[in-house]
Amino acid sequence: MKVHLKTLGCRLNEAELETWAQAFQKSGHEVTREAETANLIVINSCAVTQDAARKSRHLIRKVHRENPSAKLVVSGCYATLNQQEAEALLGVDMVVSNKDKDRLVDKALSELNLDTMPTMSTEPGAISLFTRGRQRAFVKVQDGCRYRCTFCIVTVARGEEKSRSVQEVIAEINALHQQNINEIILTGVHLGGYGSDLGNNLVDLIKAILAETSVPRIRLGSLEPWELTDDFYQLFAYPRLMPHLHLPLQSGSDSVLRRMARRCKTEEFTTIIARLRQVNPLFNITTDIIVGFPGETEQEWQESLQFIQQVSFGHLHIFTYSPREGTKAATLPNPVPEPIKKHRSQQLHQLGDDMRLKFYRANLDQQFPVLWEGYSEPVGANKQRIFGYTPNYLKVACVISKDKSLENNTTLATLKTVSDTYIFAEQDEKNLTHPLQLPPLPLCD
């Protein structure tokens, strides 16, 4: 049987797709990139905003329209919050709520009337993420969130916190590394709350991964800033832990943060950023900002803009506020008019572009080990432009011969010039040693 997997939304959804793909392969089925030829299609939906819910509905209808004969399973936050609506959509054969996600593969294989049977139940020969064109793996380490930020519907959809055991996570990472995965990203709804139900914490998990795996690159998904402890900062002394964090700020105005029920005010956030930049002056800090939260005055907006500019992030994820039924924020008075939200969003996008280019320029003439992706663009008749990422998560481009491939390899590159979307790298003249003290790396050529 051919299985096709699609997702909308967060990295956690991506990680769950990887887990399902592995399980389908282990049951003897093929994971395919072609939705049109699949016998079974699984969609992991999103509902973080009203627009995300709309996109989830649109994707479900589109997938069924393009392959009406395939069985269609829908899971994720949209399907959990709107189960009856999802079940009523044309072509949906099964809805699996978030609480049953761990059993999605078993439920689909046992409860749907599938005509095809697996040829043999074996360990997959090729990792699912390569089938889907991936060069790194997302590893889900926990689900659920104990906090109730007033704007967030995801905590309602995901339920209580539940962590995977340290050894289960380590076993997955080692299996991925054995299949030539060189970078993993730890993800969760409330990643900083890892271990709250097990008697340990995220620092314990990272230390165990550093000690019991040899995957070269470890990244962290989104982390709430109030949960960074003193021993957390010390972990970045290990070069395998990449110097990039996504720390959601949501607003640069303390009065707005109070209405959001956020637990980190601007003064505390400033201290956190300073500590990270003491660890590494080129530490890349990215964030989320919500524009037009209920009651946001012009003064609060100006406070937010000034604080964001003061911090100077590497990248902004900008969300224009839209009310979500079931959240406290949806009941708050004084909604911001749409034209004002649009104008503020445009202002923030311009500031975000300026800060991103400023951070790019701060990294010029620096040498980094770059993990190269599989995607490339032709340059003339005999060259190609390849793309990869530095440890601090800057997108880098380099021109190499058309007959060469650096896919999933790490080489040293010096960052030279900036474009709107990435940094151009040049071939290095010196054969320097990788920061992990491995043998010298091949140079970008």
CB 371 within 8 A of CB 355: no
- CA separation (Å) from 21 to 124, 318, 323? 10, 31, 34
Strand order in the sheet with 315-320: 244-246, 284-291, 315-320
**Is there a domain that residue 126 lies in?**
no
Give me the number of domains the chain comprises.
Answer: 3
Same domain, 190 and 206: yes
Quote the domain boundaries for residue 408: 367-426
Same domain, 30 and 101: yes
**Is there a domain that residue 431 lies in?**
no
**Is there a domain that residue 438 lies in?**
no
Map residue 85 onto helix, strand or coil. helix
Q: For the chain, what's the residue count?
A: 445
pTM of the shown model:
0.81
Per-position DSSP letters for 237-269, written without gaps between them: GSTTB-SEEE---B-S-HHHHHHHT-S--HHHH
Indicate the pairing of strand 244-246 with strand 217-220. unpaired
Q: Is 290 exposed, middle or buried (0-12, 13-18, 19+ CB in 10 A)?
A: buried
**C-alpha dihedral, 17 to 22 to 28 to 29, nearest 10°:** 20
Tell me the CATH number at 86: 3.40.50.12160
**Is there a domain that residue 347 lies in?**
yes
Indicate the pairing of strand 40-45 with strand 71-76. parallel
**Is there a domain that residue 443 lies in?**
no
Amino acid identity at 123: E
Same domain, 231 and 215: yes
**Is there a domain that residue 349 lies in?**
yes
CB 53 within 8 A of CB 82: yes
Indicate the pairing of strand 183-188 with strand 40-45. unpaired
Same domain, 381 and 251: no
Residue 201 half-sphere exposure, CB side, CA atoms within 13 Å? 7
Label residues 414-436 b or e (16+ Cβ within 10 Å = b).
bbeebeeebbbbeebeeeeeeee
Say how many Å lie between the first and final Cα of the chain, rounded. 42
**Is there a domain that residue 445 lies in?**
no
Same domain, 205 and 344: yes
Tell me the CATH number at 207: 3.80.30.20
Indicate the pairing of strand 162-163 with strand 30-31. unpaired
Q: Tens-of-pLDDT digits for all 445 residues of the chain? A: 899 999 887 778 888 888 898 889 888 888 888 889 899 999 999 888 888 889 999 999 999 999 999 999 999 999 999 999 999 998 899 999 998 988 999 999 888 876 444 333 333 334 445 444 567 889 999 998 988 899 988 777 777 899 999 999 999 999 999 988 999 999 998 999 999 999 999 999 999 999 999 999 999 999 999 989 999 999 999 999 999 999 999 999 999 999 999 999 999 999 999 999 999 999 999 999 999 999 999 999 999 999 999 999 999 999 999 898 889 999 999 999 999 999 999 999 999 999 999 999 999 999 999 999 988 899 988 999 999 999 999 999 999 999 999 999 999 999 999 998 899 998 654 443 344 434 334 445 4
Shortest CA distance to 2 belongs to which of 36, 43, 39, 41? 39
Same domain, 384 and 402: yes
Amino acid identity at 81: L
Same domain, 388 and 243: no
**Is there a domain that residue 29 lies in?**
yes
Vertex 23, ends 103 and 203: CA angle to 5°? 80
Q: Which residues, in sequence order, are bridge partners of residue 424?
A: 397, 417
Q: Which residues, in sequence order, are bridge partners of residue 284?
A: 244
Handedness of CA 20, 126, 140, 12 (dihedral sign): negative
- pLDDT tens track for 88-103: 998 899 999 998 988 9
